[in-house]
Structure 1
Amino acid sequence: MKIVADAQEITGADAGGAPPAAGAPAHQLIYEALRALILFGELAPGEAVTIAGLSTRMEAGVTPVREAIRRLTAEGALAALGNRRVIVPELSAQNISEIIYARQCLDPELARRATLRAKDADIARLEVIDAALDLAILRGDQRQYLEQNYRFHACFYDLADAPVLADMARGLWLRFGPSLRVICGRLGTQNLPDMHKSMLAAMRAGDADAAAAAMREDVGQGMGHVAQSLEMPLMAERFD
């Protein structure tokens, strides 16, 4: 199953998680595959999902698909409506405001902790991912842009060795990932700047505070594009 194989690659070590163990149960593989479809916007905001439809698309059995939907609904990646329909949630202005606040707390702190722990090989790995991200931007490859951008963040989440904070940060990606795919379609990848190189330079210098500041700006820029592209006014928040 190509979708499952792709998900296993995406959820490997560079993507911020251990790859599924050999012989992992079907429900775990299907969960990872469905998670990737949501994370990288293959399922659009507002799109309804059904067990039968996903079973056909993923060439999977009904039971593991049902379990994957249940888990991802509990995580907020999918939303169950009153009429028993399940959809990919659409972001509201309130959602965006809360996600910005949470990410500007979590990502800079994870970047700071990663800098304090990172070795040269760790930083080199981040630079390789960032180079792949640059290539995706140059080619206008939306899917690769989304994957490599997530890999970059997930990689330093792991380096931070703060599993509670990292799990919270990864959970937020599931909430805005589908909308980020929409924005790539509207603006193109070259109109989505990042502060990764500033963060990497700070990491090379061992300056944890500068790395955190760069990541704070990166999150602000990225999530600001999300709000603006979806024509949502940012609610007044204090992030200091």
Structure 2
Amino acid sequence: MNRLVGKKPEHETIYAQLREQLLFGEFVPGQPLTIHGLAESIGSGVTPIREAIRRLTAEGALVVRENRRVEVPDMTYARLEQIELVRVSVEPVLAMMGAKNNVSGVAAELERLDQEVNHAIEVGDIRKYLEANYRFHFTLYAAADAEVLLRVAESLWLQIGPALRVGCGRFGTANLVDQHHAATVALRVGDFEAVRSAFEEDIRQGMKFVSQTLK
């Protein structure tokens, strides 16, 4: 049997790993990154690291300065306002589209993920909170079957991930609020506008939480 069948290319694996580290806040805003440093920490060659950096830069998750230094972008009020503007324009629509598609099992999965989010908040597990919160949103977004909008949302989450992690680390999880329960109830009864509204409010609350880290 050929063990290489179905195996991802190394550059795809490295990209996925760095993407996850950005999403769940293992890097902080303004943090410089070096190709050789990343290669050493991950245990890979520099070529797949360069390819991953190229892709993440195109998605807005990393920036390359004039001196070719790579870093996680700083979060500013102006940048945060722009991210919020696009998020509230795109993500509630994705949520409503996903709800309307009525994909089997999505409602039950969202309820399960909401319980994971709540448990992570209760015990103060920041990493688990960030992971479960991401999966909650993107489970419904993926059900929308809207690839263009989904890619926009993914890029925005990559950009906000490091700042959200800073907020959780500074203020803890006890102050986190969300509209997940309202969204799942609305989904169960087929109130698609209420799903859209719950996601919009959830996003605005999350962005307000991040803005407190900039003060």
TM range (shorter): over 0.9
Indicate the residue corresponding to 1:127 in structure 2: 111
Structure 1 CA distance, aligned partners of 2:168 and 2:40?
A: 27
Corresponding position: 1:46 with 2:30: yes
* Equivalent AA in structure 2 for residue 32 of structure 1: A
In the superposition, the TM-score normalised over structure 1's length comes to 0.85
Indicate the residue corresponding to 1:32 in structure 2: 16
Measured against aligned partners, the alpha-carbon deviations of 1:137-188 in whole angstroms (never above 9, x if no partner) come to: 1110011111111111111110111111111011100111000000000111
Corresponding position: 1:107 with 2:91: yes
* Equivalent AA in structure 2 for residue 26 of structure 1: E
Structure 1 CA distance, aligned partners of 2:104 and 2:47?
A: 45
Note the aligned Cα RMSD (angstroms).
1.1
Indicate the residue corresponding to 2:204 in structure 1: 220
Q: Aligned to 2:52, which of 65, 68, 71?
A: 68
Corresponding position: 1:166 with 2:141: no
* Equivalent AA in structure 1 for residue 164 of structure 2: L
- 8 Å CA contact 2:103, 2:143 repeated in 1: no
Name the count of aligned residue pairs: 211
Gaps of 5+ in 2: none
Paired-residue identity, %: 47
Structure 1 CA distance, aligned partners of 2:143 and 2:181?
A: 17
Structure 2 CA distance, aligned partners of 1:135 and 1:82?
A: 44
Local SS of the residue matching 2:61 = coil
Structure 1 CA distance, aligned partners of 2:87 and 2:114?
A: 20
Deviation at 1:120, TM superposition (A): 5.2
* Equivalent AA in structure 1 for residue 160 of structure 2: F
Deviation at 1:98, TM superposition (A): 0.7
Indicate the residue corresponding to 1:182 in structure 2: 166
Indicate the residue corresponding to 2:74 in structure 1: 90
Indicate the residue corresponding to 1:209 in structure 2: 193
Structure 2 CA distance, aligned partners of 1:128 and 1:109?
A: 22
Corresponding position: 1:139 with 2:139: no
Deviation at 1:228, TM superposition (A): 2.1
In the superposition, the TM-score normalised over structure 2's length comes to 0.95
Gaps of 5+ in 1: 1-20, 232-240
